[in-house]
Amino acid sequence: MVPTLDYIFVSEFDKLKGVIVKRQFPSTPAVDQLEGVIDLLMPLNLHKYLNTIHYTVVPLFIDPVSGLLSWQAPTESYKRIYLYTLSYFQEDDSYRNGTAMALSILTRLPLFDVFRPLMTYLLHNLMAAPEKLDTVELVLKELNKIRISELIDEFRLNKHARFLLSRLDDLDISVPSRLTEFTKSDRFFRSNVDLGKTKFPLQIPALPLVSSSCAMYGIDLARERLLRDFLIKMKGLELVLPKHSSLVPYPSIKPLHVIFNAILTKRKIVLYSYDSCYNDLMDIAQALLLLVDGDYPCYPILDLAALDIPLQLPHYIVGTSNLLFKDRLPWDLFLSLDSNQLLIREEEGLFEKKAPKRLSTDSKFRQLFRRSTPSVSTIKEGIDHIVLDNSWDPTFPVIDSEADKEFFAPVTEPSFFSTGFSFTPSIPSDAEPPSIHAQMNQLVEQLVKDHHGDFTIYQALTEYLYELDSVVFKSFKFYINLSKLKSYRHFALLKLEEPDFEDYTLVPELRLFIRENQIVLPLAINYPYKVGMPPPINNKLLDHYTSVMNQNHNLFRTFQNIELPNDTVYYWLEGYCFELDLNLLSKEVSQLLERGKEVGLPKRKLYQLFRAINQLLKSRSTGGLEKFLAALYVQSGGFETFENLLIIASVYISKPRNKNDEVITEFKRFLSLILNHQFFTIYLLPLLNDFIKLSINDFIDHHMY
């Protein structure tokens, strides 16, 4: 079992030696054996803010066997550990007009903020009686009796599941029965640290355990102002703009979007504070890490002795009180809290691109998260009217991991036929903010003005980042692929008219071009797939992606620097590679029932819709269900669309039908996959309304027994 704490130690400032470790538990190996780490326990400007508790975090690695610390992991046996410190400069008549002391813990558990109240209590006691260290040793012993690591391990989920659960502020999470030292009360798992005469309460926020890979560092967003203050600080920053930078795609960009662009494109960010309180810098670093779920190398406090550490990283967030970092450490963004400026590094060889004006957005905050859905009567009426398409054909692309390997393997020999073809995407140019930025700017103004709490702000900002990645950037990708293939088709038709190429035919050359350029096409729903078909260039989808691109084209340079995800699921038919656009799929589902009320539910569309979903759900290693649910949630502002899918399947198959009907078969597979999925049964099933639960029970009675 991973201990709650590996070390706890007390340090102080000595006027001759600087910061020294006064006492540590356990006593060996000495934590100060790691060069440069002790100098990071107290910010350099601690003396400027008397009687103020400062906090710092330094990510390190530890060998669990020997207890030795390291800046990096030399072997796989080393594990991530966090050096979390509270420091305090108490005003008195001593040297420097005060006494500086710090209390530090080393823990492999990311929720170190949970221990802040206990550490504050201990630090104040140590300032009053510096020689009384028995309680510090007792805290180490008692905390390691509490199985916090097992509590964390109980709720390990993939990133899509975490995104979903962070939308549910009323989620009920139970204490595992074997962890008897915990009780559940309100939003917390509660325990006590026995300090003899005192039982100090320990409160662990429940929601972060299931909605964040780093447990939100133990921060309780329902009580904090961390993200609200972050938005206010970003709003007040002065941008120092270069002539050319891909981080500044249009002149009127807000500082918040510059920082998000830097995070998304994995740039080097330096935060600087000397005259300002270092807690303000720590808060910004913590806010950024919360929004990316800890997935970014971050050293919130560093000095010159540890300068080599970030120099070995391709991207990072580094905090410092040493202005020399501005010259000695490469950076793309330099945020100075002292001057309240955000400096952007000049990039050579770039040219300005502009963007279009966005359509007006709804002024009501909640309407940005929730949209109306059809009633149950509408659902039943649509289900009773299934339209059989005249062009019905059950052929449909399938997931094939072996085809992935072959398609994305390096091309050894380019096609002679494609010689002379060139393609440059058509990107508009104007100075208006991208549509998604304009909407986000309005939302941020509203969040701050209406005094929304951190939990609501967290939901809004992470949903924005999700849409930026899964809607805007994915639209750019498909716009380029479809436009490129369409342009090449025109090029090929002209070339086939030349005498030298009369022995060539169009479809094989298009297939070869797709393979050589690794062109992934969007998987269209209600498309006439069939064996031997030519490459499907869907003009309707191209128009959709062109529209999204036109509204957000000033983000195109940002998109060009984005690393594509490596967990994409691909579908295959006739050698063509397709990717399921979950945003478009979600819209199809949302519109399905409303249109079904008027013209019925088309059989081919139902079949392809559920077949695409079922294949995604079967790919368990990619978190298919959670991916799908996250897209549905963002598109519709809730779980109503998913509930409608359940109703379509469960109600339709309860009627007398041909048992060999392809649609019924896919409905059954869908419900079986859902009902056998642990995430659904544990977290979502209790939230469904009674009508849906009864429909599912009917399905179980008729088809599973």
CATH number assigned to the domain comprising residue 54: 3.30.450.200
pLDDT at 657 (0 to 100): 60
Instruction: Average the pLDDT over 260-268 and give the result.
Output: 95
Which of residues 224, 246, 271 is at a domain's end? 224
Is residue 46 in a domain? Answer: yes
Is residue 151 in a domain? Answer: no
Residue 232 confidence class, pLDDT cut points 50, 70, 90? very high
Using alpha carbons only, give the angle 240, 245, 250 rounded to the nearest 5 degrees: 80
Half-sphere exposure of 637 (CA within 13 A, CB side): 9
Query: Is the domain of 410 the same as that of 470?
Result: yes
| Integer CA distances (angstroms), 492 to 481, 486, 576, in order | 16, 10, 18
Is residue 180 in a domain? Answer: yes
Which of residues 189, 224, 259 is at a domain's end? 224
Is residue 510 in a domain? Answer: yes
Q: Among 15-29, 86-100, 150-164, 335-349, whose mean pLDDT is lowest?
A: 86-100
Is residue 357 in a domain? Answer: no
- Dist. CA 582–CA 341, nearest whole Å: 39
User: Is the separation of the CB atoms in 435 and 552 below 8 Å?
Assistant: yes
Residue 590 confidence class, pLDDT cut points 50, 70, 90? confident
Residue 378 confidence class, pLDDT cut points 50, 70, 90? very low
Query: Is the domain of 191 the same as that of 243?
Result: no
pLDDT at 47 (0 to 100): 87
pLDDT at 658 over 90: no
Query: Is the domain of 513 the same as that of 628?
Result: yes
pLDDT at 43 over 90: yes
Greater confidence, 25 or 644?
A: 25
Per DSSP, the three-state class of 300 is coil
| Integer CA distances (angstroms), 210 to 75, 162, 485, 625, in order | 29, 6, 43, 16
Instruction: Average the pLDDT over 90-102 and give the result.
Output: 73
Residue 660 confidence class, pLDDT cut points 50, 70, 90? confident
Handedness of CA 503, 508, 512, 514 (dihedral sign): positive
- Dist. CA 166–CA 156, nearest whole Å: 14
Please choose, from the candidates 293, 272, 274, the residue with its C-alpha nearest in 3D space to the C-alpha of residue 284: 272
pLDDT at 410 over 60: yes
Q: Among 378-392, 486-500, 626-640, whose mean pLDDT is lowest?
A: 378-392
Cis peptide before 29 (omega within 30 of 0): yes
Residue 252 confidence class, pLDDT cut points 50, 70, 90? very high
Instruction: Average the pLDDT over 427-456 and give the result.
Output: 92
Q: Among 51-60, 418-427, 438-447, 654-663, whose mean pLDDT is lowest?
A: 654-663
- Which residues sit opposite 272 in a β-bridge? 320, 336
- pLDDT tens across 267-317, in order? 999 999 999 999 999 999 999 999 999 999 999 999 999 999 999 999 999
Is residue 360 in a domain? Answer: no
Residue 567 confidence class, pLDDT cut points 50, 70, 90? confident
- Dist. CA 392–CA 394, nearest whole Å: 7
Query: Is the domain of 378 the same as that of 336?
Result: no
Instruction: Average the pLDDT over 518-532 and give the result.
Output: 90
Query: Is the domain of 217 the same as that of 232?
Result: no
pLDDT at 704 (0 to 100): 57
Mean pLDDT of the chain: 87
3-state SS, one letter per residue, for 213-228:
CCHHHHCCCCCCCHHH
Which of residues 172, 207, 224 is at a domain's end? 224
Query: Is the domain of 181 the same as that of 234?
Result: no
pLDDT at 373 (0 to 100): 41
**pTM (predicted TM-score):** 0.90
pLDDT at 246 (0 to 100): 87
pLDDT at 82 (0 to 100): 97
Query: Is the domain of 193 the same as that of 339?
Result: no
Determine how β-strand 183-185 pairs with β-strand 188-194.
Answer: antiparallel
DSSP structural state of residue 39:
G
pLDDT at 593 (0 to 100): 65
Q: How is 155-222 classified by DSSP, letter by letter? A: T---HHHHHHHTT-TT---PPPTT-TT-EEETTEEEEEEE-SS-EEEEEEEHHHHHH-TTGGGG--TT
Instruction: Average the pLDDT over 241-252 and give the result.
Output: 88
pLDDT at 649 (0 to 100): 72
pLDDT at 387 over 90: no
pLDDT at 384 over 60: no
Query: Is the domain of 199 the same as that of 274?
Result: no
Residue 81 confidence class, pLDDT cut points 50, 70, 90? very high
Query: Is the domain of 273 the same as that of 178?
Result: no
pLDDT at 359 (0 to 100): 36
pLDDT at 342 over 90: yes
Instruction: Average the pLDDT over 637-651 and give the result.
Output: 77
Is residue 629 in a domain? Answer: yes
| Integer CA distances (angstroms), 276 to 226, 238, 255, 320, 522, in order | 17, 16, 19, 12, 50
Query: Is the domain of 425 the same as that of 337?
Result: no
Structural domain count of the chain: 4
Helix axes 640-652 and 582-599, enclosed angle (nearest 10): 50
Using alpha carbons only, give the angle 153, 154, 155 rounded to the nearest 5 degrees: 90
pLDDT at 388 (0 to 100): 54
Query: Is the domain of 183 the same as that of 136?
Result: no
- The residue range of the domain holding 124 is 1-145
Query: Is the domain of 160 the same as that of 210?
Result: yes
User: Is the separation of the CB atoms in 549 and 487 below 8 Å?
Assistant: no
Q: How is 573-634 classified by DSSP, letter by letter? A: ETTEEEE--HHHHHHHHHHHHHHHHHH-EEHHHHHHHHHHHHHHHH-GGGTHHHHHHHHHHH
Cis peptide before 528 (omega within 30 of 0): no
Q: Among 16-30, 67-81, 584-598, whose mean pLDDT is lowest?
A: 584-598
pLDDT at 241 (0 to 100): 86
Residue 349 confidence class, pLDDT cut points 50, 70, 90? low
Q: Among 63-67, 257-261, 529-533, whose mean pLDDT is lowest?
A: 529-533
- Dist. CA 572–CA 397, nearest whole Å: 5
Residue 651 confidence class, pLDDT cut points 50, 70, 90? low
- Other beta carbons within 10 angstroms of residue 128's beta carbon come to 9
Residue 488 confidence class, pLDDT cut points 50, 70, 90? very high
Is residue 251 in a domain? Answer: yes
